[in-house]
């Protein structure tokens, strides 16, 4: 004897099955997995850089740790956006990008602009008052941070979702910050000129700002 299933429920189950088997749904599910790994790695980097910055007296490491902390929040927002987008896709049989993804990308762009401004302010302060730091410790911690961020950049690269692009730019900015810290540390060790660090930081801030403006522009265009 068969089980009676109301017609509306049968249609809903069918539509949910269709939505869950679309390429976009599968891409978002993979994006969720990538974002979870990225959050765990970024949180670990932030903790290491906070401790490393405190022990070495490196303001650059502390700033990079703050950047990584913002990245954890941004990646978490991106993860929630992808999760909610999949829920809407199942519920409404949607196959396109959702508004929440666009809003998440816009928010990430604004956060990136804020990070760029903070780096500029701190760099100008360091230009006025260079600080003595433990270069060896700074180089070790920054190198670990670079490797972790590079792994995350590879995970998030070439994604179609503008929301994931926002997360990508966050982590790329953090990776570039780590590169700047490493280069600055090597040059400081060779020359003893502590002004190198804030100069490199200003260049990194410009790169982050350009990425943020592009992301905000694309988000606003798609939200219209």
**Cβ 149 vs Cβ 46: under 8 Å:** no
pLDDT recorded at residue 19: 43
CA geometry: angle 54, 113, 103, nearest 5 deg: 115
**pLDDT values of the chain reduced to their tens digit, one per residue, 224 residues:** 444 444 444 434 333 444 445 555 566 677 888 889 999 999 999 999 989 988 987 878 887 888 888 788 778 888 887 777 666 654 554 444 567 767 877 888 888 888 888 888 988 988 888 877 889 999 999 999 999 999 999 988 766 677 778 888 888 888 988 898 898 889 989 998 888 878 888 888 887 888 788 888 888 887 77
Question: On the CB side of 87, how many CA atoms lie within 13 Å of its CA?
Answer: 9
Residue-range domain boundaries for the chain? 7-223
Give the model's pLDDT for residue 160.
Answer: 64
Q: Using an 8 Å Cβ cutoff, are 173 and 204 in contact?
A: yes
- The CATH number for 7-223, chosen from 3.40.50.1980, 3.90.1170.50, 3.30.470.20, 1.20.1510.10, is 1.20.1510.10
């Amino acid at each position: 004897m068969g089980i009676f299933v109301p017609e509306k429920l049968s249609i809903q189950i069918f539509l949910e099955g269709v939505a869950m088997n679309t390429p976009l749904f599968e891409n978002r599910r993979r994006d969720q997995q990538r974002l979870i790994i990225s959050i765990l790695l970024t949180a670990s980097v932030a903790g290491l850089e906070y401790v490393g910055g405190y022990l070495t007296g490196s303001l650059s490491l502390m700033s990079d740790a703050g950047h990584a902390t913002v990245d954890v929040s941004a990646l978490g927002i991106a993860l929630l956006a992808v999760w909610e987008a999949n829920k809407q896709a199942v519920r409404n049989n949607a196959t396109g990008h959702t508004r929440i993804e666009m809003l998440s990308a816009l928010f990430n762009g604004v956060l990136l602009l804020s990070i760029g401004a903070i780096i500029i302010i701190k760099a100008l302060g360091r230009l006025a008052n260079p600080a003595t730091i433990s270069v060896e410790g700074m180089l070790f911690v920054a190198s670990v941070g670079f490797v972790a961020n590079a792994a995350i950049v590879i995970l998030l690269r070439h994604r179609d979702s503008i929301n994931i692009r926002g997360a990508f730019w966050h982590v790329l900015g953090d990776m570039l910050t780590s590169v700047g810290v490493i280069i600055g540390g090597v040059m400081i060790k060779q020359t003893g000129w502590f002004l190198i660090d804030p100069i490199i930081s200003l260049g990194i801030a410009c790169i982050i700002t350009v990425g943020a403006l592009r992301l905000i522009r694309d988000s606003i265009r798609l939200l219209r």
